[in-house]
Each structure stands twice: as structure tokens, then as C-alpha cells.
Amino acid sequence: MTDVRAASVVVLYHSGYGHTEAIAKSVAKGAESVGNVTVTQIKADNENLDWESLAAADAIVFGSPTYMGSVSAQFKGFMDASSKVWAAMGWKDKLAGGFTVSASQSGDKLNTLIQLSVFAAQHGMQWVSTGTLPGNNNSQGSVEDVNRLGSTLGLMAQANADQGADVAPPATDHRTAELFGARIAEAAKRWNSIG
């Protein structure tokens, strides 16, 4: 049967030093791997932010590095700027997901994902989890496992503090990011098909 369902996904992120941007690209790549899906990447700290693409999106994936245990100041600036959209419930019933990158294995990344999910809830959006079993959590596991950091609320990636975005986060986190992007895109197509 021909798949007539389509969806548009926006990956909206801030990245100070490129690590979150690298993961944003992998989330976008995963979403693009799903047929009939258009993907747009938008920087949260762009002075001329593309609000129109956000308004037209079926799903928005929010990404921020974890700075001092929370989203970056630049990402928070975007959150606050979105209050005009909030007042009109402009993103109500769009799908949402979130990802974050930090240097430590934990690094309090969960707090950033909680922030992003509450932000999505304020906008009346529908939050999509990772839908991936935790990896690297038994004697047969390794850091090569998908979802090696064992996150469920959103995507977590870890980048060694002394490595550039060309090598950190490692390939396993990029594989996890691609799966996450594909999951959101598939979910957006299903969501659209039920009207």
C-alpha cells in the first residue's frame, strides 16, 4: 500500500561549542530517513528566528546543552521569547521531544530534559519519549549499546570535555540520536493520519 502520510519536523537547538549541534544533525538525519518527512534545523539563538517554520511543524524537537544543570541561557532566551506563541496556544497538539548533551555521564542532564518537557507541556504539546530500552546496564552491555546512558524522557548524549564535536559525543550516541529522530518522525506521521 502506498504511504500517503507526511509530516514536517523541526529540530530547534542551541549549541555553544558544537556538540549539541552534532547531535541535532543526527536527530535530523534520523527523521529524514523516514519517508515523506521534511526536516528543518533552526538555531535557538538566531536573531531572526524562523517562527514560521515552527508554526508549520507537526513536531518540534528541542535540544540544548546542559549548562549548570539546566538548559543554556541562550535556549532559555528562546523559551521566554516563545511566550507570545504560548499566549495564542500556537503549538498546541504538535508533537515534542527533547535532547541534551553534557560532559559528565550524568551531569544532571535529566533536569534539562524535565525543563524541556515542562516547556512543551506549557505549550500544550504532546511529548514523545525515547521508546528505547536502556543499554549498557548489564554484564553483557557496553558503551557501544544504543541508549548507553539509559534515558527515557528524552535523548541524552555525553561529550568528553576535552574533545571537539568531530569526535564527541561518540558514534553510539549518534546512532541513538538517529533512532530518536526517526521515532519522532514516525510518530508525527501517525499523529497526522488520525487528524
Ligand X SMILES: Cc1cc2nc3c(=O)[nH]c(=O)nc-3n(C[C@H](O)[C@H](O)[C@H](O)COP(=O)(O)O)c2cc1C
Verify binding: residue 20, ligand X, rule CB under 6 A.
yes
Residues 52-81 that bind ligand X (CB under 6 A): 65-69
User: Which residue in 152, 64, 73, 157 sits closest to 116, CA to CA?
Assistant: 64
Verify binding: residue 159, ligand X, rule CB under 6 A.
yes
Verify binding: residue 104, ligand X, rule CB under 6 A.
yes
Judged by DSSP in three states, 55 sits in: helix
Cis peptide before 169 (omega within 30 of 0): yes
As a whole number of angstroms, the distance between CA 76 and CA 70 comes to 9
Residue nearest to ligand X (CB): 107
Binding mask 105-124 for ligand X (x = CB under 6 A): --xx----------------
Nearer to ligand X, 21 or 186 (CB): 21
Single-letter amino acid code for the residue at 81: A
Q: Interacting stretch for ligand X, rule CB under 6 A, among 30-38, 101-109, 148-156, 170-178?
A: 101-109
Verify binding: residue 15, ligand X, rule CB under 6 A.
yes
Query: Which residue bears the cell 506549557?
Result: 122
Verify binding: residue 101, ligand X, rule CB under 6 A.
yes
If residue 8 lies in a helix (H) or strand (E), which one and from where to where? strand 7-13
The sign of the dihedral angle between the CA atoms of 50, 76, 113, 192 is negative
Verify binding: residue 170, ligand X, rule CB under 6 A.
no
> Of 8, 26, 41, 102, which lies in the binding site for ligand X, with binding defined by CB under 6 A?
102
Q: What is the DSSP letter of 49?
A: -
Q: Which residues are near ligand X by CB under 6 A? A: 15-20, 65-69, 101-104, 107-108, 159, 161
